[in-house]
Chain A
Amino acid sequence: MLSFKLALRNLLGAGLRTWLNVVVLSFSFIIIIWTKGILEGWDRQAKADMIKWEIGGGQFWHVNYDPYDPLTLDESHDRIPAGLISSVQPPVPVLITQGTIYPGGRMLSVLVKGIPPEQKILALPTAKMVSADGEIAAIIGKAMAENAKLDTGDYVTLRWRDRNGTFDARELKITGIFDTNVPTVDVGQIWIPLAELQDMMLLPDEATLIVTPENAGPGEATEEWVFRDHEFLLADIESIIRAKGSVGIIVWLILLMMAMLAVFDTQVLSIFRRQKEIGTCVALGMTRGQVVKLFTMEGALHSVLAAIVGAIYGIPLLFLQSVRGIKIPLESSDFGLAMAEKLYPVYSAALVAGTILIVMIVTTIVSYWPSRKIAKLNPTEALRGRIQ
């Protein structure tokens, strides 16, 4: 208690020197919490969007289906198992094939996905896939629309190969364009009614994957259908976000190092310049152990002050951002994963407490290290200020 009081007195008495260190330290507090909060918010949002737009409560995949190898699409489809269809909220079968569209004389390779227009599980506006007899209605994402220069009401030719390998072509009518943060349902994709695609492919009642409703619980796998849960389907996002996050980690590591260097430097300088003071403390009745404790406490208290200063400007700043969101000036498609135009950082109590704890521990170690020297100081020489 005494050393805490004296340390605080010494620290506050030192004025500007203290506050410079404290401000640098508080920056690293805020940057650590900020970057981690953004990553956490991004992670949550991206996952929520993926669930909403693409994966629902998990998917049954045909055993041969591999989204990274379009060539397998020809072999990865089968009849939809009867047991799945009859649940309260029916699962959504999706049939996938490759095709080519020719918008404005250009040629674009696409994934054609058939989905029941009446489905309720995914946010895709499949109800917009209505058209006059003989026309095939299609919906596409905003990024796709921009890339292909297609608008609602436009017609575009689709060419595909059916199950026998025979090429065929039909006109599609774009009946809806949707705005999503999930590029994997948007870029290079075209959605049409499942029944139409099954017809076109000569694959009645077949699908490539089956989206289950949320909270349906783990599905039962069969030989033909493998259940892919959230953990599996969201793994890509997690690894991408973690990779993007490493930049943030490097930034805060540098900041933390700078702050620690400043504290360390102050400590070393203090002990060198304040030899007489140390000698006087001993003459007035402190043991050298007490002086070591006092100096360590002084250094460590930088981080306490930094937490307070950081809170003063950090809490309003971070709070405002978590409520109003941060505008991201990038197209989500550039990132290759779901990314909203606005991110809402998430700051957990554990994150804040953990960060403060880590910085305090590191600061204490960095303060203690040079202070140990005091324990070996000869008080009579310290009083003369003769130690190098």
Chain B
Amino acid sequence: MNNEPVIRIKDLKKHFPSGSGRFTALNGIDLLFSKGEFTGIIGPSGSGKTTLLNIIGTLDTPSEGEALILGRSAGSLSAKESAALRKSQLGFIFQTYNLFPVYTVFENVEFPLLLQGVESSQRRKMVLDALEWVGLTDKIRSRPAQLSGGESQRVAIARAMVKRPAIVLADEPTANLDAKNSHNILQTMEKLNRELRTTFIFATHDEKVIGYVRRKIFLFDGKVAGDEIINKN
């Protein structure tokens, strides 16, 4: 319906200092992502997936080339501007969940809304909605240490989704999960993707994840080695 890309990447390069020279982690990436995509960036370890996701997530900046995230150039945002962009439009899901250990499930999911300054009763409603999406309304008072890996990742999904961001970036979200939990969270994310039209981008080399995505971008040695759209009905 809406073909305006949410992410536009042009001839993107990323170098890291290494010894006396430099190491090129991304070497000329050209990609467009549209609203509502459910895409996997697939590649072996060290191929540059995390680096690409970090630049899309404005946690890192391009060395060369351009990355436009929702129309904003990742390389020229100030620290405040990129923080504001992440706060309102970007959700992150990590391999290691990265929940705040001293917070309850409720407080973890509430955190992004506190940063946004959402008013208390509205906040409560949004948190409960998000926990409903991931099926964890019975655990709101638990702490991360009391949760299984699958439950933790579902809390992380709720935390990423609670502010209804335009884009969710998930770096190896199933790497620490067993098959059953992996399928469970992938189904959850697929459902959210359909219902809320949130763009999901995964970095992965997990076959289970690859089975769900509707677009596969193959990354190899910092270059795009393939880009396939899978037609599912």
A interface residue numbers (CB < 8 A to B): 2, 5-6, 9-10, 13-15, 276-277, 279-280, 282-290, 379-380, 383
Contact = CB atoms under 8 A, between A and B. Distances in A.
B94 A383 contact: yes
B162 to A, nearest CB: 10
B79 A284 contact: no
Nearest to B87: A285
A279 B100 CA distance: 11
Q: Which 6 A-B pairs have the closest CB atoms?
A: A285-B87, A13-B102, A285-B86, A280-B98, A287-B83, A283-B92
B147 to A, nearest CB: 15
Given A2-B117, A14-B102, A9 B107 contact: yes
A330 to B, nearest CB: 50
Contacts of B102: 9-10, 13-15
Given A9-B103, A13-B103, A283-B57, A276 B96 contact: yes
B73 interface: no
Interface in B116-147: 116-117
Q: Summarize A's interface: helix, strand, loop or mixed.
A: helix
Contacts of A5: 114
Contact of B54 (A10, A286, A290, A380): A380
Interface in B65-101: 79-80, 83-84, 86-88, 90, 92, 94, 96, 98, 100-101
7 contacts: A2-B114, A2-B117, A9-B107, A284-B86, A285-B90, A286-B115, A290-B83
Contacts of B57: 283
B59 interface: yes
Given A10-B102, A380-B59, A285 B96 contact: no
Nearest to A288: B79
Given A14-B102, A379-B59, A380-B59, A284 B94 contact: no
B78 to A, nearest CB: 9
Contacts of A277: 98, 100-101
Given A283-B90, A287-B79, A287-B83, 12 more contacts: A13-B100, A13-B103, A276-B96, A283-B57, A283-B59, A284-B92, A284-B112, A284-B115, A285-B88, A286-B83, A286-B115, A383-B94
A2 B88 CA distance: 17
A279 B86 CA distance: 13
A285 B112 contact: yes
Interface of B: 54, 57, 59-60, 79-80, 83-84, 86-88, 90, 92, 94, 96, 98, 100-103, 107, 111-112, 114-117, 159
A387 to B, nearest CB: 15
Contacts of A285: 83-84, 86-88, 90, 112, 115-116
B150 to A, nearest CB: 19
A289 B114 CA distance: 17
A9 B59 CA distance: 26
A285 B84 CA distance: 6
Given A283-B59, A285-B88, A380-B59, A276 B114 contact: no
Contacts of A13: 100-103
A237 to B, nearest CB: 53
B152 to A, nearest CB: 13
A287 B80 contact: yes
Contacts of B114: 2, 5-6
Which among A5, A9, A283, A287 has the highest number of chain B CB atoms within 10 Å? A283
Contacts of B83: 282, 285-287, 290
B177 to A, nearest CB: 18
A287 to B, nearest CB: 4
Contacts of A2: 114-115, 117
Nearest to B53: A380
Contacts of A383: 59, 94, 98
A214 B112 CA distance: 70
